Amino acid sequence: MKIDLTNRVAIVTGAGAGLGREHALLLARLGAKVVVNDLGSDISGDGSSDTVAKQVVDEIIAEGGEAIISGASVTNIEQVRYMVEETMDRWGRIDILVNNAGILKDKSFSKMSLDDFRLVMDVHLMGAVNCIKAVWDIMREQKYGRIVMTTSSSGLYGNFGQSNYSAAKMALVGLMQTLGLEGEKYNIRVNCIAPMAATRMLEGLMSNEALKMLSPSSVSPAIAVLASADAPNRMVICAGAGSFEAAHITLTQGIYLGAGVDIPYLLAKRLSDVVDRTGEMVPVSGFSQGELELLKAGLKEE
């Protein structure tokens, strides 16, 4: 299957280096016009410079593509709106949004300040919310949109010292689930990617050999698929070192115990039956849990 993004317009946040850079370059090579957004800050979110973003824009143009630079901070809604207005003035539409911008403020929870917790939530979660809010009505009106959130295995499964990052990344999965439902009738498809790549965030955490295998460019093919016309909806794709997987939040069949004073004892005794994964499912929406529970209670027909 060929992926052709000709005449599509994409915004990629945090596109000056690492994963974002590779995403922007690949989307451009597939024909998209790209807004290369990067504040130019360091891994902790300090400082700003348009140098790295300009280098990516220059590289895209040198390869025959079209690109413009944006130094908007995703945490500043007015700057994000201006970026979107500039894009619309230039190309008249926005088809793809890749929310990739992020920072790290790693510490164990006992040593982490609330300011550092809020800042990471603000960049990763609210940064994505700001960008989506700015393009949402545009995508609804044109009845086309492809939005990608950057989640993480740290959010899906946890990681020591990353409570702020993990919370933000799992929140993006919940945001994807609901926006995927709300955007479906407007042909807006919303997905997540959980990348594992050798970026500034992994320096010092892995061996040089492992880092060589985990090139950011090995992740970007998943972005191409999620940005395409045939993209899925509400999928979490994991990607790294040329390997691709899907992560799911599942619901077990569980057990029905009814009500009564002895239920806490019975539940504790049969907890292994509750977590038994035989017949588990991926719910269509949050209502699926209630439907299953009412069905087991005999209050709903199959």
Q: How many angstroms separate the CA atoms of 299 and 194, rounded?
A: 39
Distance CA 162, CA 96 (A): 29
CB 165 within 8 A of CB 209: no
Instruction: Compute the distance between CA of residue 234 and CA of residue 242 in angstroms, rounded to an integer.
Output: 22
CB burial of 1-38 (b: ≥16 within 10 Å; e: otherwise) equals eebebeebbbbbbbbbbbbbbbbbbbbbbbebbbbbbb
Identify each DSSP E strand in the chain by its residue range. Answer: 9-13, 33-37, 67-70, 96-99, 145-150, 188-195, 236-240, 243-247
Asked about 144 being catalytic, the answer comes back as no
Place of tokens 């945490």: 75
Which residue among 157, 165, 186, 265 is the active-site one? 165
CB 16 within 8 A of CB 57: no
User: Which residues are CB-contacts of 124 (< 8 A; sequence separation ≥ 6)?
Assistant: 101, 102, 103, 150, 165, 168, 169, 172
Q: What are phi and psi of 261, to 5 degrees?
A: -70, -20
- Contact call for residues 23 and 97 (beta carbons, < 8 A): no
Taking a C-beta distance cutoff of 8 angstroms, is the pair 236, 194 a contact? Answer: yes
Residues marked active site are found at: 165
